[in-house]
Amino acid sequence: MITRARGIGKGVGTGLLLVTDAPLSFLGGVDPATGVVIDEDHPLRGRSIAGRVLAFPHGKGSTVGSYVLYGLARNGVAPAAIINTEAETIIAAGALIAGIPLVDRPERPIADLPDGVEATVDADAGEIRIGD
C-alpha cells in the first residue's frame, strides 16, 4: 500500500512502524543515548524509537529538541524515518540536520497506520510504502 505525503527531509528510511496519537517532545521525552521514550506521561514510554518509522502528530516543547534528534542520529539510535500529521519547525529542523527522512500531511491519517508493520518512507518521492 502506498500513501502520498509531503516530503520534507531527504532520503529513504525503512523500519517497523511505531505509531502514536500523542505529540512527542524529544527534549526530556526521549533518552538521546538509547532512543527510549522516557516521558512518563507518553503512551510510548519505555519503547525504543531506534531504527523505527516513527509516526506521531507533531512535536512539542523546546527548540533544543532539534538537537536531541541530531544527537540520536550521532548515537546510532535515531528513527529510520518520521511521519507527522503536521511537521513543525522543531521536528523539521532536527530531521534535516540529522539526515532523517521526514514526511507530513499523509493522505491516510496516522491513527490508521498499522503499528509494528514494516514501512518505507521515501521523502524524495513523498511516499509511505506499507508492507510488501
Confidence of residue 132 (pLDDT cuts 50, 70, 90): low
Question: Annotated active-site positions, please?
Answer: 62
Fold of 2-130: Glucose Oxidase; domain 1 (3.50.30)
Write the CB contacts of 106 (distance below 8 Å, at least 6 apart in sequence): 3, 4, 5, 83, 85, 113, 128
- What backbone torsions phi and psi does residue 71 show, to the nearest 5 degrees? -60, -40
Cell of 104: 507530513
Residue ranges per structural domain of the chain: 2-130
**pLDDT tens track for 25-76:** 999 999 999 999 999 999 999 999 999 999 999 999 888 999 999 999 999 9
Contact 54, 79 (CB under 8 A): yes
Averaged confidence pLDDT in the chain: 96
Identify the helix (H) or strand (E) that includes residue 7. strand 6-7
pLDDT at 129 over 90: yes
